[in-house]
Amino acid sequence: MRILAFSDVYRWEGYEDLVHKHKPDIVVLAGDLTSDGNTAYSEGVLELVPGFAKEKSELFRKYKRVDMGDGMSSGPVMSDKLRTKFYNDQRELDNRYEGTKDFKELLEARRKTHVEMFYAFLRHAGKLSKVLVTKGDHDTDDYDSSRINKIPGCQEISGKAYTWNRCVFLGLGFAQAGYRSPLRSLIADFKGRAEIVIAHSPQRNVRLIAEIRPKLLIRGHFGSGQYMVDGIPTVFTSDLNHVVIEIGRAGLPRIRGFRSLSRELKGDSWSDKHLRRKYPWLGRYPR
């Protein structure tokens, strides 16, 4: 079985091509899909609001700064007091324009485009693979379980089990995996029954989810990398563009993480050192 998995989608461009490239049997979406809390649709909106670019240029000229993009600037060395005043003036300018009708309308239009690209991906992927979806903590009103289930080939499984080709998948959205009371109840119901768990959970609950004893745990929300959690093969998808998982008849799954649409992650992820220090129960995945 080949699984294409990802979560916490910043922008939807290119994901349809991945289905053609990897030809997965199952596509797994582990939450934060209509919004990941910091989606690309908000980029550059202020610059499109009439008057903002002119005022920003005048502000930078006043402080003798050159805008380098991504919130960075260059120029003469500033005293702490002057630097603080510059950043405060920048923040005041941003806040003022973010309160305008023009900004709100532009942001809403981009948000709708981002959301519709999510549903367009489902319609495309559902024609080629089975698609299983769970809900993240940032997926709010735009995330419609009934709409997902009406798309051929797609199934929303937050809080539910779904059997495909005799393999039992369990979906744990943030409503189930983010809080220990509902999570413990589901663990009792599905322990030893679910073969693959798809979860959107905080880090502290991962070890608890592993008590279900699945053959594989796919988890969104934070972090990236492949681990052994009390003997359970586990992959964190949040800080990766996507993951390809090959499950054979025997042995551990082969897990390949990708930084971008094409660049495969070699070695440990950037978050490994931090995660292992904070959560020593994260074991290394055999290479």
Q: With a cut of 70, say whether residue 183 has pLDDT above it.
A: yes
Q: Are residues 221 and 241 in the same domain?
A: yes
Quote the pLDDT of residue 270: 62
- Separation of alpha carbons 103 and 121, rounded Å: 27
**pLDDT tens digit string along 124-159?**
999 999 999 999 999 988 999 999 999 999 999 999
Q: Does residue 63 sit in the same domain as residue 167?
A: no
- Domain of residue 58 covers 50-99
In a domain, 89, yes or no: yes
What is the spatial distance between Cα 76 and Cα 27, in angstroms, rounded to a whole number? Answer: 51
Q: Identify whether residues 151 and 254 lie together within a single domain.
A: yes
- Beta-carbon contacts of 127 under 8 Å, excluding residues fewer than 6 positions away, are 152, 153
Question: What distance in Å separates the CA atoms of residue 241 and residue 89, rounded to the nearest whole number?
Answer: 35
Token reading at 187: 């663990």
Q: Do 169 and 94 reside in the same domain of the chain?
A: no
Contact status, residue 133 vs residue 33, Cβ threshold 8 Å: yes
Residue 67 lies in a domain: yes
Residue 7's DSSP bridge partners are none
- The answer, yes or no, to whether residue 271 has pLDDT greater than 80, is no
Does one domain contain both 145 and 269? yes
Does residue 155 lie in a domain region?
A: yes
pLDDT tens digits for range 226-257: 999 999 999 999 989 999 999 998 899 999 99
Cβ atoms 238, 6 nearer than 8 A: no
Mean pLDDT of 197-205: 96
Q: What is the mean predicted confidence (pLDDT) over 92-103? A: 95
Same domain, 193 and 167: yes
Bridge partners of 161, per DSSP, are 170
pLDDT of residue 137: 95
**Percent of the chain residues topping a pLDDT of 90:** 80
What is the percentage of the chain residues whose pLDDT exceeds 70? 98
Please tell me the distance from the alpha carbon of residue 82 to that of residue 88, in angstroms, as a whole number. 10
Quick one: pLDDT band at residue 287, thresholds 50, 70, 90? Answer: confident
DSSP sequence for 134-190: E--TT--TT--HHHHHTSTTEEE-BT-EEEETTEEEEEE-HHHHSSHHHHHHHHHHH
Three-state secondary structure of 201-215? CCHHHHHHHHHHCCC
In a domain, 108, yes or no: no
Same domain, 145 and 166: yes
Per-residue confidence (pLDDT) for residue 249, from 0 to 100: 85
Nearest Cα to Cα of residue 201 among 230, 245, 234: 234
- What distance in Å separates the CA atoms of residue 190 and residue 188, rounded to the nearest whole number? 6
218 and 129 in a common domain? yes
Residues 15 and 66 occupy one common structural domain: no
Over range 91-111, report the average pLDDT.
94
Tell me which of 71 and 84 has the higher pLDDT.
Answer: 84
Distance CA 165, CA 132 (A): 13
Least confident of 28-32, 116-120, 129-133, 179-183: 179-183
Is residue 107 in a domain? Answer: no
* pLDDT score at 276: 84
Residue 110 placed within a domain: no
* DSSP helix/strand/coil, 240: coil
Residue 117 lies in a domain: no
30 in the same domain as 60: no
Identify the CA nearest to 219 among candidates 206, 228, 207. 206
Query: Residue 241: CB partners within 8 Å, gap ≥ 6?
Result: 6, 258, 259, 260, 261
Type of residue at 8: D
Mean pLDDT of 33-42: 84
Which CATH number characterizes residue 217's domain?
A: 3.60.21.10
pLDDT of residue 269: 66
In a domain, 54, yes or no: yes
Q: What is the pLDDT of residue 40?
A: 81
Q: What pTM did the predictor assign?
A: 0.88
45 phi, psi to nearest 5 deg: -65, -40
The rounded mean pLDDT for the chain is 93
Lowest average pLDDT, out of 115-119, 219-223, 277-281, goes to 277-281
As for how many domains the chain has, the answer is: 2
Looking at the structure, tell me whether residues 254 and 219 fall in a common domain. Answer: yes
Residues 193 and 260 in one domain: yes
Beta-bridged to residue 229, according to DSSP, are 232, 282
